Amino acid sequence: MPSITFMSGRKILLTHGSDQGFGGIERHVVELAESLTDRYQVAVMVDQRQFHHFSEKITCLPVEMTRSRSHPGLLWDAHKQIRTFQPDIVHAHGGKAAAIVKTIKLIKPSLKTIVTVHGYKKDTRCYNGHQAVIAVSKRVASMLSCPAEQITVITNGIQPQPTLQTGPDFPEKTHPFTFLTIGRLAPVKGYDILLDAFKGIDAKLWLVGDGPEEAKLKQQAAQLGIEDQVWFAGRRDDIGYLIENTDCCLLSSRREGCPYVLGEALLANKPVVSTDVGNCAEILPASWICETENPAALHELMKKAASQPDLLFANQQEVFQLAKQSYSLEHMTKQVEKLYQKVLS
C-alpha cells in the first residue's frame, strides 16, 4: 500500500455548518486542519466569523452559515467555493455540512465526500450517499443507516489544553473534593439533573461554560440550597489549569458523541465519572458510569467518588494509559489520512 506521503499536494476541503459558536465540532475541524497542512493543501469552508480560529496556513472560504441547510443562496455560495478550490476531497463535519455537500453532489456527482458524525441524530439521511462516513464512537456508528462497510470509527484526537495561569476569580478550595464539568449550558448536557444529584454531596462543583440555560440553572441551584457549593465559572480560557486543579471531571449529558472533556481529563490523569453517553462506556470502567436521566444514580456515583477518591483514581489507572493512544491527535490524523487515501485510490 502506498505511504501517506503519496497524498502530498492533494487538496482537502473541510467544512462545518456553525456560524459563530465554538464547541467540539468547531475545535475538531481546527485541530484536524492544522494537523494536515504539512502534507496537503488545506482549505476550510466556514462562516466568516470562524476565520480567526485558523492559522495563516489554512485557506478560509466564506459561506454565510446562519441560513438553513436547504437555503438556495447558501447552497449556491458553497457550490461556488467548491468549484473555485477544486478539492480532491470534501470532508464535512456535522449534519448541516453533510446535507449541504450531499446536495452539491447532485450537481457534481464526481465530487468525493467524506462526512464525520459527531453525535446522536434521529434523522441520519444526510449521512447517506457519501464515499465514506466517520463515526466518533461505536454508539454513534450503530445509529447510522448507511452500509456498514462505508463506516469507520475514529475517536476524536485531542490537542491537550495548555496549563495557563488562572484568572483572579479562581475560587479557593473550601471543600475536600471538587468536581469539574465543562460544556455549553444547554438541555442536552443534563445540568438540571446534575444539580438535583449534587444536593447532599460534600464537595464543590465547578460548572464551566455559558449558554441559554444559565439563569435557569443558577435559580435551580439557589432553590436547592447549593449555590455556595456551585461555581458557575462561565466561558474560560484556562481549561488546562482547571482540569489540573480539580479532583474529578464529570459528564451528566443526555447525549454525546465523543466528548472532549473525557479525553482532556484522562490525558491529564484526572478520573472521570459519567452518564452512559457517547463512547464513555467504551473507555471508562462500568463502576464509574450511571444511566442517563437518573439523578439518584448520579448522586450515588458522585457520593462514591467524593468519599473514595483513592479507589476512583486506582480504578482508572489503565484508562489513563489507554487514553494516551486513543485520544492522540497524531493517531487520529493518521487514521483520517488512511481513509482519504482509500477514497482516492
* Residues forming a β-bridge with 206: 180, 231
Helix (H) or strand (E) holding 331: helix 329-344
**Buried-state track 56-84, b at ≥16 Cβ within 10 A, e below 16:** eebbbbebebebebeeeebbebbbebbee
The confidence band for 332, taking pLDDT boundaries of 50, 70 and 90, is: very high
Phi/psi at 340 (5° precision): -55, -45
Contacts of 145 (CB under 8 A, 6+ apart): 124, 125, 127, 128
The confidence band for 7, taking pLDDT boundaries of 50, 70 and 90, is: low
Least Cα distance to 292 among 238, 244, 255 occurs for 255
Ramachandran sector of residue 142 (left: φ over 0; alpha: ψ -120 to 50; beta: rest): alpha
The confidence band for 166, taking pLDDT boundaries of 50, 70 and 90, is: low
Residue 1 has pLDDT above 60, yes or no: no
Q: How far is CA 45 from the centre of its chain?
A: 19
Q: In what order do the strands lie in the sheet with 132-135?
A: 59-62, 41-46, 11-16, 89-93, 113-117, 132-135, 151-153
CATH superfamily ID and name for 4-157+328-344:
Glycogen Phosphorylase B; (3.40.50.2000)
Q: What is the mean pLDDT of the chain?
A: 92
Output the CA–CA distances (angstroms, integers) from residue 281 to 59, 257, 274, 290, in the order listed. 38, 12, 9, 10
Q: Which of 166-170, 242-246, 332-336 has the lowest mean pLDDT?
A: 166-170
pLDDT more than 70, % of the chain: 95
Half-sphere exposure of residue 249: CA atoms within 13 angstroms, side-chain side: 28
C-alpha dihedral (28, 32, 33, 35), degrees to nearest 10: 140
pLDDT score for 164: 60
The CA-based angle 296-24-201, given to 5 degrees, is: 25
Q: Which tens digit of pLDDT belongs to each residue from 60-98?
A: 999 999 999 999 999 999 999 999 999 999 999 999 999
Give the integer Cα–Cα distance in Å for 199 and 178.
14
Residue 342 has pLDDT above 60, yes or no: yes
More confident residue, 71 or 120: 71
pLDDT score for 167: 64
Q: Which tens digit of pLDDT belongs to each residue from 204-257?
A: 999 999 999 999 999 999 999 999 999 999 988 888 889 999 999 999 999 888
End-to-end Cα spacing for the chain: 10
Give the integer Cα–Cα distance in Å for 127 and 78.
18
More confident residue, 322 or 207: 207
Give the integer Cα–Cα distance in Å for 319 and 248.
14
The confidence band for 8, taking pLDDT boundaries of 50, 70 and 90, is: low
pLDDT score for 21: 80
Give the pLDDT mean for 124-145.
94
Q: Which tens digit of pLDDT belongs to each residue from 46-60?
A: 999 999 999 999 999
Give the pLDDT mean for 186-213.
96
**Numbered ranges of CATH 3.40.50.2000 in the chain:** 4-157+328-344, 178-325
Q: Which tens digit of pLDDT belongs to each residue from 272-321?
A: 999 999 889 889 999 999 999 999 999 999 999 999 999 999 999 999 99
Give the pLDDT mean for 105-112.
95
Residue 5 has pLDDT above 70, yes or no: no
Q: Which fold has domain 178-325?
A: Rossmann fold (3.40.50)
Phi/psi at 136 (5° precision): -80, -5
Give the integer Cα–Cα distance in Å for 322 and 266.
9
The confidence band for 6, taking pLDDT boundaries of 50, 70 and 90, is: very low
pLDDT score for 162: 66
Encode 148-204 in three state secondary structure.
HHHEEECCCCECCCCCCCCCCCCCCCCCCCEEEEECCCCHHHCHHHHHHHHCCCCCE
pLDDT score for 168: 61
Least Cα distance to 266 among 208, 207, 325, 185 occurs for 325
